[in-house]
Chain A
C-alpha cells in the first residue's frame, strides 16, 4: 500500500458536506456573541457618531444662515438709519434756510420801520422848529415893523422914491432873515 492509496482512502472518509458539529456550535455561539456586541456597543456608537455629524453640519448651516440673516437685517437697519439721517439733515437745512429768510425779512421790516420812525421824528422836529421860527418871526416882524414905522416917521417921508427904497430894503432883509431862520 503506497501513500497514494492512503490519501485516497483518507479522502473518501471525509465528506466536505458533512459538518463537524463542534464547528456549528462554535460558529453559532460565536456569531451570537458578535451580534450581541454589535447590537449593544458598535452599532449604537456608529449611529450616534453619524447623527452627531449630521447635527453638526446642519447646525453649522443653520448658524451660518442665522448670521447671514442678522447681517442683512443690520445692513437694512443701517440703510434705514442713513436715509433717516439724510432726511433729517435735509429737513434741518431747509428749516435753517427758511428761518434765515424769516430773520432777514424781519430785519428788513424792522429797518424799514426804524427808517420810517426816524423820518417821522425828523419831520415832527422840523415842523416844531418851523412853528417856533414862525412865532419868533412874528415877534421880529412886529418889532421891525415898529422900527420901520419909527424910521419912516423919522424921515418924514421927504422923498417918495427914498421911501420906496426903504420899504424894499426892509422886505429884502426880512426875507434873508427868514431864510436864515429856516436853515437853522
Chain B
C-alpha cells in the first residue's frame, strides 16, 4: 500500500523509481545502523536548524540599532511577520503577546527544516519524516488544550464540542462530530499535512533526479537522453514550486497553531 515504486519497469534495464525507503537514510549513530534504531541525518538536521535559528537571531539583535543594518533588518522583518502577521492578526491585540515566542519558534523551526530540502547536500526536508511532524503537532495539541483548560476550566471541553446556536435535536450528531474534528482529526491533519507535502516534494526531487540519470546514463537512444535533459529543466521549475510549498507549509503550520490557540483562549466567544 505504501509502495511508491510502481512496477512499471520489469523490462530489460528497467527504470527503478526511488521509493519512500530511500528517504530514510541509514542512521549515523551507531555508525550506519539500520533506519529507526539510532541517530540519523534527519535528526542532525533538526539540531542544525536549532543552532542556526538561535545563532542568526541572537547575533542579528545583539546590538540593536535604531536604524537597523541589513542583518538586523532581515531578522526584524521575520520577527515582525510572525508577531504581527500571525500572532496579532489571529490571536488578537489583547492576548497575543505571551504566544509570540511559541509562534516564532514554530514558524522558523518548520521553515528552516523545510528549506533544508532545497539546499544541496542537505537535500532533505526534516518534516518529511513523520516523527518530527508528530512531535510538533503533539506539542501544539498539548499546548492549546492546556490553554483551554487554564482559561475555562473543565468547562472548556463542553465549550469546544457543543456548538452554540444549534437546535437541540441535532446535538447528538454535532457533538461526536465536533469531538472527532477537534480532538482527533485536528492534530492528525496538522502533522500529516506538513509531512505529506514535504515527503511528496522530496519524492518528486528524487524521482526527477533518478529519472534524469536513468534517461541520460542508462538509455542509449539520443532522444531519450534529450528527454533526460528536459526532465532536468522541468525539475528546476519543480524546485521553485517546492520552495514555494516549503514556505507556504511553514506559514500554514504556524497559522494553524495560532488559530488553535485563539480558539482555546476564546472558546466561549463562539
Q: Does chain A bind chain B?
A: yes
Q: Are A45 and B64 in contact (CB under 8 A)?
A: yes
Q: Are A28 and B139 in contact (CB under 8 A)?
A: yes
Most buried by B among A45, A49, A50: A49
Flag whether A52 is at the interface (Cβ < 8 A). yes
A:43-92 near B, CB below 8 Å: 43, 45-50, 52-53, 56
B24: chain A residues at CB < 8 Å are 14, 20
Q: Are A10 and B21 in contact (CB under 8 A)?
A: yes
Nearest chain B residue, comparing its CB with the CB of A11: B19
> Contacts A28-B135, A49-B76 given: A18-B47 contact, CB under 8 Å?
no
Majority secondary structure, A binding face: helix
- Contact string, B126-137, partner A, CB cutoff 8 A, digits 1/0? 100111101110
Majority secondary structure, B binding face: helix
Task: Assign chain A's interface to a size class.
Answer: 35 or more
B195: chain A residues at CB < 8 Å are 16
Q: Are A34 and B109 in contact (CB under 8 A)?
A: yes
Flag whether B259 is at the interface (Cβ < 8 A). no
Seen from chain A, the residues whose Cβ lies within 8 Å of a Cβ on chain B are: 2-4, 7-8, 10-28, 30-31, 33-35, 37-39, 41-43, 45-50, 52-53, 56
B135: chain A residues at CB < 8 Å are 23-25, 27-28, 31
A48: chain B residues at CB < 8 Å are 64
CB distance from A33 to the nearest CB of B (A): 6
Flag whether B4 is at the interface (Cβ < 8 A). yes
The 3 closest A-B pairs by CB, nearest first: A23-B131, A19-B131, A49-B64
